[in-house]
């Protein structure tokens, strides 16, 4: 049977980098193909070629046995190819309806856009696939998780036959991810063909029919869920055995580092996002915040890091009032921040890697002597961090915006964790990272905790929160509904609390916790 999609000898070069090296790939009708690989391995480049965002230097693309030329996303859509990108392709000042309609406009007699008709279809898709979103809201006012839903709705709206999902569960809860998988299975049964790009090995084993692994631009193997396990897949991706367990010392919390008292925050449209929240974090412990995206976690982090000031309440860092402090003041007080949105809040995309690595310290020794920057020291710092954190780049002078999403995250991690700090805010620290990088980052966070650093971990990945945290705070509709020891609560119990189930009921409905290993979230 002729594959619905065939890629033959696809090769793509960038200055100093062979991103794709004569890759062959086929996709059958109704098949879910998982594409695995490290950050910078070439997965997203390959899919961008298929979607017309890049042009291959060599190779051919065929759909249903016929060669096609894909010079733009418009060509891809005409060929029945749709893509949900890892980094959202949305216009913040447009509404959800306008974003979904873009390129697929519905018009009324007279040539006017038929927004009500499009909005109704969006609502129907939202209800059908349990992707709750208000078509009338502006995308720029939406949390990251809801923006992800808009991207998925765009794909479903176009009814493509070949569907590319690039890290689609990066900001979804386990329950939302399970719902997405049901959608994917249903689509496959109806004859849709899916390429699923992810770094989460459990998801690959749960949803895929076939698995292809790319390493450093080349295909290094294919397998199936029946023939593979997490350890085998991890080794194929990285080229070495990967330790899936996080080694941790017993938690010995010290003095209070951060104290939050009765904090109230508004969201972008002036609604209460954080309501009367209070908690403490001590030196040498990790407090994980679990919650469905959009329940106040983003605003809580903004208040603690100085990105926005609270309506009321107080935040104290190392006995200093930081309630109205600037981000620089908080940073200089011994704090580090891995932001939720790396491109908006963590990096200056047009700047080279070398400059992004000193954004917090460029004015201090050894990088600055008065008003004179010491270029030699800055270059030495960049070269050392690129090597230590395995940032895949042809040069330290490469613009950070040209890196893969995972390598952009590594630049932030390298900058923030290489400084002497006493408090770390890690908001989705492994979003978009591969298994090897997750192993590395988790170890670094635990090392900071073992060295006496207080850590606030905010992540939509419940497994990540469960495995790294000493205590878990559950947020629901802007409130912290419970703070529990991580080793005395189950994933099921926390999941119920995230859904708004009262504490006593959640503890009764879910089974009692069992002794479990702390494993790296894959």
Q: Tell me, what's the pLDDT at 445?
A: 92
What is the longest distance spanned by two Cα atoms in the chain? 71
Q: Tell me, what's the pLDDT at 432?
A: 65
Q: Tell me, what's the pLDDT at 517?
A: 44
- Mean pLDDT for the stretch of residues 362-378: 90
How confident is the prediction for the chain on average, in pLDDT? 87
Please report which confidence band the pLDDT of residue 189 belongs to, taking 50, 70 and 90 as the band edges.
Answer: confident
Tell me the pLDDT tens digit for each residue of 98-145.
999 987 777 777 777 888 999 999 999 888 776 789 999 999 888 766
- Mean pLDDT for the stretch of residues 312-324: 94
Break the chain into its structural domains and give their ranges: 5-238, 243-334+420-522, 348-403+411-418
Among residues 55, 450, 98, which one has the least CA distance to residue 252?
450
pLDDT of 332 over the 70 cut: yes
Q: Is the pTM of this model over 0.85?
A: no
Residue 449 vs residues 68, 86, 254, 488, 510: alpha-carbon distances, Å: 53, 30, 11, 20, 30
Work out the number of other CB atoms within 10 angstroms of the CB of residue 370: 7
pLDDT of 4 over the 90 cut: yes
Find out whether 26 and 6 touch, Cβ atoms under 8 Å.
yes
Please report which confidence band the pLDDT of residue 187 belongs to, taking 50, 70 and 90 as the band edges.
Answer: confident
Judge residue 67's burial from the number of C-beta atoms within 10 Å of its C-beta, 0-12 exposed, 13-18 middle, 19 or more buried. exposed
Q: Which CATH class is domain 5-238?
A: alpha beta
Judge residue 328's burial from the number of C-beta atoms within 10 Å of its C-beta, 0-12 exposed, 13-18 middle, 19 or more buried. exposed
Contacts of residue 112, Cβ cutoff 8 Å, sequence gap at least 6: none
Structural element, H or E, at residue 409: helix 405-417
Q: Tell me the backbone φ, ψ of residue 131, rounded to 5 degrees.
A: -115, 70
Structural element, H or E, at residue 163: strand 162-166
Residue indicated by tokens 């569960």: 169
Residue 380 vs residues 366, 396, 401, 449: alpha-carbon distances, Å: 11, 10, 21, 27
- Mean pLDDT for the stretch of residues 289-318: 91
- Mean pLDDT for the stretch of residues 438-456: 91
Between residues 394 and 515, which one has the greater pLDDT?
A: 394
CATH architecture of 243-334+420-522: 3-Layer(aba) Sandwich (3.40)
Tell me the pLDDT tens digit for each residue of 35-53.
988 777 888 889 999 999 9
- Angle, to 10 degrees, between the axis of helix 230-238 and the axis of helix 435-450? 100
pLDDT of 379 over the 90 cut: yes
Q: What's the rounded Cα separation, in Å, for the pair 390 and 218?
A: 19
Contacts of residue 305, Cβ cutoff 8 Å, sequence gap at least 6: 327, 330, 335, 337, 339, 425
Between residues 148 and 26, which one has the greater pLDDT?
A: 26
Q: What's the rounded Cα separation, in Å, for the pair 177 and 290?
A: 15
Lowest-pLDDT choice from 335-339, 449-453, 518-522 = 518-522
Domains 5-238 and 243-334+420-522 share a fold: yes
């Amino acid at each position: 049977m002729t594959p619905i999609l065939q890629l033959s000898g696809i090769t793509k070069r960038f200055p100093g980098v062979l991103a794709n090296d004569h890759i062959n790939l086929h996709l059958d009708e109704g098949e879910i193909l998982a594409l695995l690989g490290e950050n910078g391995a070439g997965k997203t480049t390959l899919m961008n070629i298929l979607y017309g965002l890049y042009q291959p230097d060599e190779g051919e693309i065929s759909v249903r046995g016929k060669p096609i030329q894909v010079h733009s996303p418009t060509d891809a859509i005409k060929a029945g190819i749709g893509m949900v990108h890892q980094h959202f392709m949305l216009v913040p000042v447009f509404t959800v309806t306008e974003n979904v309609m873009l390129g697929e406009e519905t018009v009324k007699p007279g040539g006017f856009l038929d927004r009500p008709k499009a909005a109704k279809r969006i609502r129907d898709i939202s209800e059908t696939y349990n992707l709750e979103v208000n078509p009338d809201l502006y995308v720029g006012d939406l949390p990251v998780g809801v923006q992800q839903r808009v991207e998925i709705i765009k794909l479903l709206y176009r009814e493509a036959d070949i569907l590319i999902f690039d890290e689609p569960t990066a900001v979804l809860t386990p329950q939302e991810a399970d719902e997405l998988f049901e959608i994917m299975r249903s689509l496959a049964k109806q004859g849709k063909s899916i390429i699923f790009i992810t770094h989460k090995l459990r998801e690959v084993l749960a949803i895929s029919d076939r698995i292809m692994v790319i390493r450093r631009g080349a295909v290094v193997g294919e397998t199936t869920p029946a023939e593979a396990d997490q350890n085998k897949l991890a080794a194929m991706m990285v080229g070495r055995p990967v330790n899936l367990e996080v080694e941790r010392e017993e938690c010995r919390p010290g003095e209070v580092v951060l104290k939050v008292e009765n904090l109230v925050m508004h969201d972008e449209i002036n609604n209460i996002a954080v309501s009367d929240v209070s908690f403490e974090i001590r030196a040498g412990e990790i407090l994980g915040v679990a919650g469905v995206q959009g329940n106040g976690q983003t605003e809580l982090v903004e208040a603690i890091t100085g990105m926005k000031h609270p309506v009321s309440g107080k935040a104290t860092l190392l006995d200093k009032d930081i309630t109205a402090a600037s981000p620089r003041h908080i940073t200089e007080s011994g704090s580090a921040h891995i932001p939720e949105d790396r491109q908006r809040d963590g990096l200056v995309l047009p700047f080279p890697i070398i400059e992004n690595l000193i954004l917090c310290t460029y004015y201090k020794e050894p990088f600055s002597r008065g008003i004179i920057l010491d270029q030699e020291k800055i270059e030495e710092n960049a070269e050392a961090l690129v090597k230590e954190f395995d940032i895949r780049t042809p040069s330290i002078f490469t613009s950070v915006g040209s890196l893969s999403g995972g390598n952009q995250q590594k630049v932030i991690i390298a900058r923030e964790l290489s400084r002497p700090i006493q408090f770390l805010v890690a908001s989705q620290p492994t979003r978009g990272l591969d298994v090897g990088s997750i192993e590395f980052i988790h170890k670094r966070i635990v090392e900071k905790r073992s060295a006496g650093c207080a850590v606030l971990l905010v992540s939509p990945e419940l497994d990540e929160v469960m495995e790294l945290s000493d205590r878990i705070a559950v947020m629901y509709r802007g409130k912290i509904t419970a703070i529990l020891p991580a080793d005395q609560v189950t994933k099921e119990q926390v999941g119920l609390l995230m859904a708004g189930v009262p504490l006593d009921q959640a503890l009764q409905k879910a089974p009692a916790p069992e002794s479990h290993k702390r494993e790296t979230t894959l």
